[in-house]
Structures are given as C-alpha cells and as structure tokens.
Amino acid sequence: MTESIAKRFAVNLLGNSATQLAQALVPLLTLPYLARTVGLEGLGQIALAQVFIAYFALMADFGIGALATRDATTNKSNSRRLHEIVIEVLIARALLALGVTPFLIYCVAAFEPLRAHWELYLATSGLVIAAVLNTNWLYQGLERMLFYARIALISRLIGVALTFLLVKDSKDLIIVPAINVSVEISIGIIGYVALQAQKNGIPITSSVLAGAKNYIRSSSRMFFSQLLVNVYGSTNSLVLGLVAPVAELGAFTIANKIFSALAAFANLITQAIFPYLVERYNEERAKYFVHANRLIVLLGIVLSIFSIGLFVFAETLIHLVNGTPNVSATMSLQIMAPAAVMSGFGGLLTYLTVLHTSLGALMRAVTVGAAISLATVFPAASEFGAPGVAFVTVLSQAVVVCLLFWWFKRQQADYV
C-alpha cells in the first residue's frame, strides 16, 4: 500500500468513524433533557414512531446505497457516469418512496395505537424523504467521508440546540421528530449542494429512468439482508411498544442509546483491525489466521473490560440520563452489557465473511438470529417488558456470532 493510498484510506476511515460516533453520541446530549421534559412515555412514543417509520425508510433505500457506493468508487474519475449514477439513485429511491407511502398511511390509519398519535407519525415519516436524499453512499464512494462527517456533525449539533430551545414539556413532543427529520433532510440536501458547488462537482440536471429501474432490480438481495438485520434489531423495539406500556419502550430506549455508544466504539475497533487483516490475508494465509485469532482474543479482552464497566455502573448511568432511578432501564442495560463484546465480534466476523467472499454464511447466520428473535420477542415483551426484549436482543446476537465463529473455524480447518 503506497503512502498516498494509506493516507487517503486513513482520512476516509476517520471520516467514517466520525460519522458513526456522531450518530451514536450526539443523541446522548439530548437524552437526559428529553427524559425530564417529555418523560419516559414520551420517549417511548418517539422511539416507537422512529422504529415503525424506519421500515419504510429501509424500503425507500432498498439496499441501493450499498450498490451505488461500489459504482461511485468505480466511476469517480468519470464525471458523466457519476452524474448519471446520482440521478439514477435519486429516481429509484423516489419511486420506491412513492410506492410505500400508501402502505404507510394505511398502517397508521388501521392500527389504533398508531392512529391515536398520527401527528407524531406524520412528522416522523419525513425520515422516508431523508432516506431518498441520503448522500452517505456518495461520499463513501468518492472517499470524502471526512467532509461528509463535518456536514452531519454540524447539522446534528444544530438539532441539539433547537431541541433545548424549543422542547419545554410533553406538549412539545411532536417537535422532537420534526427537528430530527429536518436535520436528516438537511444533511442530504447540503451534501448534494456541496458537491455541485465544488470545482469538479456533480450537476443534477437530468434523469436516467432505465438505470434507476436497474438499481431497484439488482439491489433486492441487499435489501432483504438489511431487512433480516432489522428483524432482530429494530423489530424488538416495535413489538415492545405495541404489547407493553409505552413507558417500558422509553426505558429500553434509554438503555439502548447508552449501549449504542459503546457498540459504536466496538465498531471503530473492528474497522481499524480489518485493513490489517486484509493485508495479512493477501500476503500469507497461514499468518492471516494466526493474526486473526490473536486479534479476536485481544478484541474480546478490551471489550470485556468496557462491558464489565457498563454492567457495574448501569444504575448510575441510568440515573444520570433519566434523572431518577429506573429499575427496568437498569436491568435492560445490565442484560445488554455482554452484547458489547458480541457486537465487536459480530462486526469483525461480518467483515471477514466479505474478505472470504462468504456472504452466504452471513445470510444464514442472520436468518437464524432473526428467526429466534421473532419466535421469542412477543412472549418476552409481554411478560418481562424492556428487560425481556433486552434478553432477546442479546440472545439473537449471540446465536449469530456463534454461527459466524463456527464458519470462521471451518475456514481455518479447511485451509490447514
């Protein structure tokens, strides 16, 4: 790897890391304030709306972002083709968003728990528009993630300021998703405008309908893999909000936000490790497996320390964020604490399935995890509330990680 390539890679990794940290840490700035102003029930209502609308945002993207990132990287020196890709992605996503909108309206109108707070779901539905305008894929493909991270961080900090300024009590509940949606849409618009305004920018002037249709056809497999991940992730929150008191979802949301910050840190470690393993893999396969096993052990030790700390100080953290002790949130955070280790393992092993071109193994593991989650989340949420859902989340993630470990050991045994 030449010095210029290494520098470019490091800058892009830094930008990607900064973007992920902003997504995980910035919400923690407003979480204590919102817990005191709108309360646990309000937080639960916001979380339920976000989880529900997230499915429609996922359908609007349909896995196109992942494929478009690859195409943008391949054609970043071909400004005409890059321009066509941008238009194709926008049109494809817009068509998908228009297609899912009637279904979204029907679901809100048909189900009483959603219909009772239709204004909240109307405000949150702007996340579908944000999914259409999302430019993360483009900046990744152009290796400009550090610039994108600045846009995202500044926009989200403005959102934090607006939250403190405008949200005063539970009557202002609808303002919270309105601010969040405005921030996400702004990031997308500014992202496109910033590229258009630069010297070698991408003018957005025409449409390429055939290319847009091709993106929709070719991205279905990626969409279903993302949907499966969502099943044993976001679906747990959705089920909890529907079958248990909404305050339980608020408690789970607080615990999950704190956990997500640690999970983001674990993901950064795996991102730093992965390039090193790619080099070892390309140099000598035997040494690659030796280094991979050592790094997995080291990763487990480091994340275990943080996981133990999260478990021990769970009650204190919940008290700081919520303003008052909450048994349900504390138990949920303690149950999820071991998942910090599994999050790191899962992230690294997912990267390794890509390195070994074994996406089939990843799909099988995620499918099993999703099936276990669906089979257990309803009784767990009904009987035990937030702690039950936390347990299901950890259980399904543990199954996925175990299956991926088994796959990795088979790879090692087959090579030996």
Give the residue from 171, 204, 231 where a domain finishes. 231
Residues 222 and 78 in one domain: yes
Q: How many domains does one find in the chain?
A: 2
Domain assignment present for 199: yes
Spatial separation of the C-alpha atoms in residues 137 and 412, rounded to whole Å? 33
Residues 111 and 138 in one domain: yes
Domain assignment present for 294: yes
Q: What one-character-per-residue DSSP string does 185-212 give?
A: HHHHHHHHHHHHHSTT--------HHHH
Q: Crossing angle, helix 246-283 and helix 359-415, to 10 degrees?
A: 40
Residues 292 and 161 in one domain: no
pLDDT in tens, 148-159: 888 888 999 999
Q: Which two tokens stand for residue 355?
A: 């390195």
Domain containing 55 equals 26-231
Residues 185 and 272 in one domain: no
Residues 50 and 106 in one domain: yes
Residues 119 and 264 in one domain: no
Q: What one-character-per-residue DSSP string does 86-127 give?
A: HHHHHHHHHHHHHHHHHHHHHHHHH-HHHHTTHHHHHHHTHH
Radius of gyration for the alpha carbons in the chain, expressed in angstroms and rounded: 21
Give the residue from 196, 231, 266 where a domain finishes. 231
Spatial separation of the C-alpha atoms in residues 206 and 15, rounded to whole Å? 30
Q: Is the pTM of this model over 0.85?
A: no
Residues 292 and 339 in one domain: yes
Residues 251 and 183 in one domain: no
pLDDT in tens, 205-254: 444 567 667 777 666 666 666 676 666 667 888 888 888 888 898 899 88
Residues 324 and 370 in one domain: yes
Q: Assign 3-state DSSP to the chain and report helix, strand, coil percentages, each to 5.
A: 90, 0, 10
Give the residue from 201, 231, 261 where a domain finishes. 231
Residue 119 near residue 109 (C-beta atoms within 8 A): no
Domain assignment present for 11: no
Domain assignment present for 2: no
Domain assignment present for 210: yes
pLDDT in tens, 5-41: 555 556 656 666 666 767 777 788 888 888 889 888 8
pLDDT band at 165 (very low <50, low <70, confident <90, very high): very high
pLDDT at 406: 94
